[in-house]
Amino acid sequence: MKPTVMIVEDEASLVTMLRYNLEKEGYLVTEASDGEEAMTVADETRPDAVILDWMLPRMSGIEVCRQLRRKAETRSVPIIILTARSEETDKVRGLNVGADDYMTKPFSMPELVARVRALLRRAKPSQQKGQLTFSDIVLDMDSHRVSRGGQYIHLGPTEFRLLQYFMERPGTVFSREELLNGVWGPDIYVEPRTVDVHIRRLRKALNTNNGSDVIRTVRAAGYALDSTGDQAA
Ligand code: CA
């Protein structure tokens, strides 16, 4: 089946150009011209990748990105954010909204298409095999098993979901609130401190066999899955 790319952009001429180039590449294209519509179209069409403009009417691209990341169905969809100026790109990076790539307008169409292709390629294998890997850690989504260095590790259901969330986006720093939204869900009320408790359990389980610490604590910011380990101490 052809992958579906959703374009979220209010500038009609750019949408036409994007659609033309993506269809030429063999993708199915869906579109939304504002943030609210984007959430509806994403629900209905389950895109394989999203091209998202930062400046949108009603809801900003940043907010759309956050909301897509909060929903289980779109949590790991690759997202490329389009920004008008390079300062905006810096801001998007700084905000850490969970986008996979950024392009500054005006951009070259072949380059954008190439980046979409790369993101789709990266996203595919792990979904097909139902496995995520990070360093020597393997998480199998079908059997709900985790191993490190070939040795089975026992995790509680919350720690499993937490680890899966990290492994889908390695290197990204998540605040406690983002983790609560992404792992527990936006409608469930839990104390932010609960996150620390589960992080501690996850760490302990992962380090059972004297493995190096892969969860980085970022002071005043949150946590990330990282091979550099804890730098807050
Ligand atoms: Ca726009």
**pLDDT tens figures, 126-170:** 445 588 889 899 998 878 889 998 899 999 889 999 999 999 888
What CATH code is assigned to 131-225? Answer: 1.10.10.10
Topology (CATH) of 4-123:
Rossmann fold (3.40.50)
Q: What is the pLDDT of residue 232?
A: 42
Mean pLDDT of 13-34: 96
Please report, as a single letter, which amino acid is at residue 215.
Answer: I
Q: What is the distance between the alpha carbons of residues 76 and 49, in angstroms, rounded to a whole number? A: 9
Cα 90 to middle of ligand 1, angstroms? 17
Q: What is the distance between the alpha carbons of residues 130 and 23, in angstroms, rounded to a whole number? A: 28
Chain-centroid distance, C-alpha 112: 19
- For residues 198 and 159, the answer to whether their CB atoms sit within 8 Å is yes
Mean pLDDT of 219-229: 80
Please report, as a single letter, which amino acid is at residue 50.
Answer: V
Cα 92 to middle of ligand 1, angstroms? 15
Cα 53 to middle of ligand 1, angstroms? 6
Of 161, 141, 155, 163, nearest to 205 (Cα)?
A: 155
Q: What is the distance between the alpha carbons of residues 228 and 127, in angstroms, rounded to a whole number? A: 26
Lowest mean pLDDT, pick from 1-10, 15-24, 97-106 = 97-106
- Whether residue 124 is predicted with pLDDT greater than 70 in this model: the reply is no
| pLDDT tens digits along 178-191 | 898 888 877 777 78
Cα 14 to middle of ligand 1, angstroms? 9
Cα 56 to middle of ligand 1, angstroms? 5
Of 189, 2, 173, 179, nearest to 75 (Cα)?
A: 179
- Whether residue 108 is predicted with pLDDT greater than 50 in this model: the reply is yes
Cα 194 to middle of ligand 1, angstroms? 39
Count of Cβ atoms closer than 10 Å to residue 226 Cβ: 21
Name 35's Cβ contacts closer than 8 Å, sequence gap at least 6. 8, 56, 57, 58, 59, 60, 61, 63, 64
Which regions of 27-184 does DSSP assign to beta strands (E)?
28-32, 49-53, 79-83, 101-104, 131-134, 137-140, 145-148, 151-153
- Whether residue 48 is predicted with pLDDT greater than 80 in this model: the reply is yes
Q: What is the pLDDT of residue 190?
A: 79
**More reliable by pLDDT, 209 or 106:** 106
Mean pLDDT of 37-57: 93
Residues of the chain with CATH 3.40.50.2300: 4-123
- Whether residue 115 is predicted with pLDDT greater than 80 in this model: the reply is yes
Q: What is the pLDDT of residue 118?
A: 86
Q: What is the pLDDT of residue 40?
A: 94
Round the average pLDDT of the chain to a whole number and report it.
87
- Whether residue 37 is predicted with pLDDT greater than 60 in this model: the reply is yes
Cα 93 to middle of ligand 1, angstroms? 18
Residues of the chain with CATH 1.10.10.10: 131-225
